[in-house]
Structure 1
Amino acid sequence: MSDRADLQELRKEAHDLDVTVWVGKGGIDAVTDELADQLADRDLVKVKFHRAARGGTTTEDLAKDLAEAVDATLVETRGNTAVYH
């Protein structure tokens, strides 16, 4: 199975996931440990970025930075949420 097919499958799985990590004014540094812990227990984790976290940047940029911080794969960003594997 190709990486593209894997990502499509993960996106399908992520559709019905509930958000379990919220990024607020503390930024991504405040949630890196929590996200890493959740990813150790499950395949996919959905994260919501509140307006206070975004400041002058975009959800996509924050999502990429958070993926790097926890060494995870960013499956997708949609609106103010991101899904990690």
Structure 2
Amino acid sequence: MLTGKQKRFLRSEAHHLDPIFQVGKGGVSGTMLRQIEEALEARELVKISILQNNEDDKNDVANQLAEGTAAELVQLIGHTVILYKQSVNNKRIELPRKG
């Protein structure tokens, strides 16, 4: 579980990133989750855009993405989801210490 300080740090790190995945009309699929997991392993921090034609609630989509990839939901702002998952082999982001 991320602390508020860690989430603020990750939000600032994600600010310059462009969304690399889009959730459209089909919703969240298993293939999409696998691709996002691979991207998280490589990058640790990803932005995902929820398209206007997606009929699901954006909060539900964000939670499905986080649970499906075992990642932390850093932020849902507008229709953009930011996910973080510490990489096993490509650790790049040093989080601020808890407490």
Normalised by the length of structure 2, the TM-score is 0.76
Higher relative contact order (CA 8 A, sep 6+): 2
- Once residues 17 and 82 of structure 1 are traced to their aligned partners in structure 2, the CA distance between those partners, rounded to angstroms, is 12
TM-score, normalised on structure 1? 0.88
1:12 aligns with 2:29: no
Residue 23 of structure 1 aligns with which residue? 23
CA RMSD for the aligned pairs? 1.4
Identity %: 33
Which structure has the bigger radius of gyration? 2
Residue 82 (structure 1) aligns with: 81
Whole-angstrom CA distance in 1 between matches of 2:38 and 2:53: 24
Question: In 2, Cα distance between the equivalents of 1:64 and 1:42?
Answer: 20
Partner residue of 2:3?
A: 3
Greater alpha carbon shift after TM alignment, 21-30 vs 31-40:
21-30
Higher helix share goes to which structure? 1
In 2, distance between residues paired with 1:48 and 1:16? 14
**Structure 1 segments (4+ residues) deviating >2 Å:** none
Where structure 1 has 5 or more consecutive residues not aligned to the other structure, the ranges are none
